[in-house]
Chains A and B, each alone.
Chain A
Amino acid sequence: MSIDLKSVTQLPNTTGHFGPYGGRFVSETLMSALDDLTELYDRLSKDPSFQEEYDRDLAHYVGRPSPLYFAERLTDHVGGAKIYLKREDLNHTGAHKVNNTIGQALLAKYTGKPNVIAETGAGQHGVATATVAARLGLKCTVFMGATDIERQKLNVYRMRLLGAEVVSVSSGTATLKDAMNEAMRHWVTNVDDTFYIIGTAAGPHPYPKLVRDFQAIIGRETKRQSVVQEGRLPDAVVACVGGGSNAIGMFYPFIEDTAVAMYGVEAGGKGLDGDDHAAPLCKGKPGVLHGNRTYLMEDENGQIMGTHSVSAGLDYPGVGPEHAYLKDIGRVNYVAATDDEALEAFHLLTKLEGIMPALESSHAVAFGMKQAAKMDKDQILVVNLSGRGDKDIHTVAGLAGIDI
């Protein structure tokens, strides 16, 4: 690879760009809030007391480090590389999302703004935001597509129990992208007293950078644990990619380790041949949406297309700009797993290991098994198990024709 990977890890540049991607494509009203946030984060990220507070919360509130678990029965079943699971599902609130909401809520605290807002698809980011808001005494409003509210009822009720207001968004396709539009509209109107906690590694600068930095704990721990448990780094790491926050958290610390192959797994939906998927890196084109330039699912006129995935958290037509860049330079391979493959992996992991993965994470498990099968038995493959599947049991039961 001719590109200097050290310099890749120093992205984004000062204007928030990863090569041609990223940037700050928002209406003027938000520009100064984004400038202020960039400045605040630049300052606090160099402040040891901020880092200590973040680390302390991750240890005692989230329960980090999360284990790197050797899935022996799954490995035997596949018959290839040793499969390890990075257990982000064991975090407080049940997914990786809380790593970021802890960090951003600390930023919110420093700004003194009393209100936080969030967009959510599967509801995991909404729950994680409502959780930290409850703990810090902040008023929390979560925007969620009407379609997702229906398929993630459990998380909606969790958010309400935590004291958050859940706003149903019925415009457009009534999924994650529309929730993000509505959160932006709310933010523009209430920018003086409201901190927007974006859950994915997308959006206008500095969000992709700060979400990555807060999620990079996943990859850093994985490296350390792999060395302790196996005496070396893994040969491959796998993570699912919707907006891409858990994946960038896993990948970022490995960028310079070229011996480690990296795979980002998009939602293949009903297959990549048609339009019923959510795989902009595999099948989309670069464009501008939600404040950044990145790969998008769009039609020939530049309108954003409706997406399909069995998992609400991957049902998004864009992707974080750093993934777009890592694709172009060839450092990460972006692939897809279909709804059916993800469901099969969901059931298999549940039965073989007693671990019920989120449907999002099941995409990574599905591809991880395929890839492991092609590798040698002395090789190591890590799947980022980004969340637990309790929230999905209604969907899984529904697909099996069972009413619970």
Chain B
Amino acid sequence: MNRVDQCFADLKSANKKALIPYITGGDPKPDATVDLMHGLVESGADLIELGVPFSDPMADGPTIQLACERALAHNTSLRDVLGMVKTFREKDMKTPVVLMGYLNPIEVMGYELFASQAVAAGVDGVLIVDMPPEESTEFSNVISGHDLKMIYLMAPTTPDARATTICEHGSGYLYYVSVKGVTGSAALDVDDVKANLDRIRSKTDLPLGVGFGIKDGATAAAVAKISDAVIVGSALVKCIENNPDDVSTARTQLMAILSEMRSAMDAVA
């Protein structure tokens, strides 16, 4: 069983919700990432979304833009990020890793080569921010021959008909973008998110994750109550932004935030 499916099955039987942290591969420097990933797992991560840095992250707010710039200052490439996952797998064969990023680095590598190298490195799924289902036919055909999940975004602006299409194309889990905006946006409205999740849940059995606007234990717990997974990115990446030359402090701060979220989520489960 793919690690993503296994993860959600295990959580379901334990009556827990998934905590999914995001960090950008290569931020603040390439040799820091694997250790940060282990730190995320230690503080309660169930699955890791690992960002592939891109020069033009047009769906991201300033925090993740800067993370990309720090990673790219060290020329962190998609190949490098795959190497990080491979190293991570030397010590952790259980935690699923989903690569998150933009299409162009994958286009340049080639879909087939990317898919086979990703599986070989121990990647479990892919979320390509700027590739909606309409543009993913060829990519989906290629990765259907590999054990990789295709995670798609849903948004408050997604009409019902599109939501149905996305549910049909997606696998692993669905990522519900809680607010109209970029990553690191303003606080989410829990009631509004719940109404949208209810609408989506009538169409699919896939686990529903919620991201954007989750900043602390309280928001994480509120979202955990109504969803299957809590996704947090900018709040963690901010710890690196504040300590770019001190990875160990960044790691401590980032683990503290994640631990607080874990406890808050488990308290309401």
Contacts and interface: CB of A to CB of B under 8 A. Distances in A.
Interface of A: 15, 23-33, 171-172, 177-178, 180-181, 184-185, 188-192, 285-291, 293, 296, 298, 300-304
Nearest to B108: A302
B162 A304 contact: no
A189 B185 contact: yes
A172 B58 CA distance: 11
Interface stretch (B14-22, B129-137, B195-203, B248-256): B129-137
A189 B104 contact: no
Given A29-B156, A32-B158, A189-B180, A298 B130 contact: no
B177 A28 contact: yes
Interface residues of B, number: 45
Nearest to B130: A25
A181 B158 CA distance: 21
Nearest to A305: B55
B135 A301 contact: no
A238 B103 CA distance: 33
A293 B153 CA distance: 20
B180 A191 contact: yes
Nearest to B105: A302
Contacts of A287: 104, 107-108
A288 B104 contact: yes
Contacts of B135: 23-25
B155 interface: yes
B78 interface: yes
Contact of A31 (B55, B79, B103, B158): B158
Given A27-B177, A28-B132, 16 more contacts: A25-B132, A26-B59, A27-B59, A31-B132, A180-B58, A188-B180, A190-B180, A287-B104, A287-B107, A287-B108, A290-B56, A301-B105, A302-B107, A303-B55, A303-B104, A304-B104
A289 B56 contact: yes
Contacts of B140: none
Residue from A23, A302, A304 with most neighbouring chain B CB atoms (10 Å): A302
Interface in B99-141: 102-109, 129-132, 134-135
Contacts of A303: 54-55, 72, 104-105
B132 A26 contact: yes
A188 to B, nearest CB: 6
B181 A188 contact: yes
A166 to B, nearest CB: 19
A181 B106 CA distance: 20
A289 B102 CA distance: 9
A300 B177 CA distance: 31
Contacts of A304: 55-56, 104
A188 B59 CA distance: 8
Contact of A29 (B65, B105, B180): B180
A206 to B, nearest CB: 13
30 contacts: A15-B134, A23-B134, A24-B132, A25-B103, A25-B130, A25-B131, A25-B135, A26-B132, A27-B58, A27-B155, A28-B166, A28-B177, A29-B181, A30-B157, A31-B132, A31-B157, A31-B162, A32-B157, A180-B58, A181-B56, A181-B57, A188-B182, A189-B181, A288-B102, A289-B104, A290-B56, A290-B58, A301-B75, A303-B54, A303-B72
Contacts of A302: 54, 78, 104-109
B204 interface: no
Contacts of A25: 103, 130-132, 135
B155 A28 contact: yes
A301 B58 contact: no
B263 interface: no
B162 A32 contact: yes
